Chains A and B, each alone.
Chain A
Amino acid sequence: MPPYRLMMVVVLASACTVFPPPPDAGVPPDAGTTGCQLGFAGDRGLAPELVVTVLDPVDGRSRDLAENDGVPLMFPPQGGRVVFAGVRANNVHACGAEVQGALRDPGNQQVRLDKRTTNLRRLDGGWVGSVDTNTATFANIPVCPNQWSDTSVHGNSYQLEMRLTDREGRTVSQSLRVQPYCAEPANEAECRCICQQDYTLGMSCVDGGMPADGGG
């Protein structure tokens, strides 16, 4: 982690009450979410804090994102390519949190987004966040096939807009300029092909990554 980001994380973390917090007097314990015992992370009197993360296929771990960082495009179960964008947060309730991630084309302003409720997991330092081993705790932003952006997604700049809203209504958001890239060498050619500008469904993407009309 670059020193400036490490410093930012340390500074933010130091401002927070260490998890787990004391029992919430007067607040029903996780009513409505069976079994979620994670409670509140941090201090209810402080503003929620957010660090945006992204899952990286190289080591299967998430990393904090900074302005102009690359974000991996990954091959998900159904096909296509997605960005798994996550959160680390403090001063929020961990149960039933709403995680929203959107990738915006700065040219045409179009976005691809994913929003989901999930239980955040306790992390080192008392914060809570997305869990590397559980992609359902990340926003699963469907980026390719690229039938929405004015440019090829691989290697170009987009705006990643993350928003976290906890079950008690606290909201925190952050927007970062990022560069998506095809991150899995085994299928990079196909990735570049389906993420290319003007891709149309069914184009042949098996020959070196340059689409050819599949016809028919």
Chain B
Amino acid sequence: MHFKHVLAPFAVLAAASSCTAFPPSSTSTSTTSSGGPQDVVLAAPAANEGFQYGTGPFEVGPGDEVQDCYFFQIPGAATDEVWVNKVELAMNEGSHHMNMFRVRTQDGLRTPDNGGAVIQRAKNGTGECFKSPNWADWPLIINTQQGGHLDWTLPTGVAHLFHGGEWVMLQTHYVNATTQDSPLGGAVKVNFWTTPATAVEHELGTLFATKQSIRICQNDDAPKFAGSCQFNATTPLTVIGANGHFHSRGKQFEMFTWDGTSVDEPAVAERFYMSEVWDDPPMSRSPELTRTIPANGGVWYTCSYDWQAPPASVGCDGLNAADRAKGTAEDDLDCCYTFGGIVEKSEHCNIFVYYYPKVDDINCF
């Protein structure tokens, strides 16, 4: 099989899903007069205190995975610096993830001022919002993997920096199938609370890393993958937020502080994140998480899996068909889950890390 044939179809399915998950502080899902749940509600900040983005409620049909991309602009003039030190999120239960990115190179996904639509919908793996190369160099802003109402106030003096008019993309992913369900359909609200520049000492930076060539197969049923990603910083940094993302075959997710030069897995004492719950992963965050990364160091992460038989609606035939469509040779078909954004059929190994002071936003593929 020619290698190029392997890669191109992969790109179509690869989705850099991630999901931030702050431990839910409270749920804002309310109830209807008849007692049933309704879409999340989240009061917007006052105009002089911040701003809100949101998606209208939308349907997630039985058996569907819906992943939509919404474009928004940061308020203000281009010369305005907008500092954000608190983010508040509310999502309908059933969300697989919500990610926000800063827009950079535009190819398949374009902003409204560049010929794109404000809302770009995708379903069941089809559509530009499922094609992760479209946001390969878009820095992470925030992510979550849990429904409900969550908020995160950054440490004193730390804030995200935006500029007025800057485009950001909010990506929602809801699953209403075997592995997860979305009884209410989808809805997301995000509040950005601003702070004066004079109150900011450090800009927040983010790191996103993913392993693409993962493969969890019937005859290699307990694989473990490890990777690393470093900050190009000559002084130590402080990690204040982290979460990992995999799908239902995920067994254990770990992150460690790392010196940037060693090829041996760091000691357990260096571990600052662990998740064993794929569909409700913790987000370690400040003030509980405050971990120093040495100068020129970074993050070492691992993803461990247990192969499971696929849902009946997919079956090994379905997995093999998806694998075959990526160009995999017949001899290599083995009821494998490979990298991709479709929860029922594929797996992920993605990390989301928040740190300061920012040296750059970092992506490691």
Contacts and interface: CB of A to CB of B under 8 A. Distances in A.
B294 to A, nearest CB: 12
B3 A110 contact: no
Interface string A134-164: 1110101010010110000000000001010
Contact of A200 (B229, B307, B360): B360
A147 B296 CA distance: 11
Given A78-B16, A111-B228, A136 B365 contact: no
B44 interface: no
Contact of A204 (B105, B166, B211): B105
B189 to A, nearest CB: 25
Nearest to B5: A60
A115 interface: yes
Contacts of A23: none
A116 interface: yes
Contacts of B103: 216
B325 interface: no
B221 A33 contact: yes
Interface stretch (A13-21, A39-47, A69-77): A69-77
A52 to B, nearest CB: 14
B227 interface: yes
Contacts of B5: 60
A100 interface: yes
Contacts of A134: 215, 328-329, 332
B121 to A, nearest CB: 22
Interface residues of A, number: 61
Contact of A201 (B226, B263, B360): B360
Q: Which of A34, A76, A117 has most B Cβ within 10 Å?
A: A76
Interface string A192-216: 0010000011111110000000101
Given A102-B263, A111-B261, A161-B263, A78 B214 contact: no
B16 to A, nearest CB: 6
Contact of B1 (A111, A133, A163, A216): A133
A84 B260 CA distance: 20
Interface string A73-93: 011111110101000000000
Interface stretch (B31-39, B88-96, B135-143, B179-187): B135-143
Interface residues of B, number: 65
B232 A147 contact: yes
Contacts of A95: 220
Interface in B7-30: 7, 10-11, 13-14, 16
A205 B338 CA distance: 29
Nearest to A216: B166
Given A32-B222, A100-B263, A163-B263, A78 B102 contact: no
Interface in A77-133: 77-80, 82, 84, 95-96, 100, 102, 104, 108-119, 131-133
A148 B210 CA distance: 16
Contacts, number: 187
Interface in B240-267: 260-263, 265
B220 A36 contact: yes
A203 B360 CA distance: 12
B291 interface: no
B105 A96 contact: no
B320 interface: no
Nearest to B297: A110
Overall SS of chain A's interface? loop
Nearest to B339: A77
A113 B228 contact: yes
A216 B209 CA distance: 22
A148 B232 contact: yes
A171 to B, nearest CB: 12
Contact of B102 (A35, A131, A202): A202
B263 A119 contact: no
B332 A79 contact: no
Interface in B305-322: 307
A115 B225 contact: yes
A7 B133 CA distance: 43
Given A135-B213, A202-B105, A57 B4 contact: yes
B213 A35 contact: no
Contacts of B361: 201-202
A115 B225 CA distance: 6
Contact of A116 (B14, B225, B265): B225
Contacts of B138: 202
Given A34-B221, A133-B332, A147-B360, A74 B213 contact: no
Closest 6 CB pairs of A and B: A79-B136, A202-B104, A80-B365, A136-B215, A77-B10, A60-B3
22 contacts: A33-B219, A33-B220, A34-B221, A35-B219, A56-B3, A60-B4, A60-B5, A60-B6, A76-B7, A78-B339, A79-B136, A80-B364, A110-B260, A113-B227, A116-B226, A118-B215, A133-B1, A145-B363, A147-B232, A148-B230, A203-B137, A216-B102
Interface of A: 32-36, 55-57, 59-60, 74-80, 82, 84, 95-96, 100, 102, 104, 108-119, 131-136, 138, 140, 142, 145, 147-148, 161, 163, 184, 194, 200-206, 214, 216
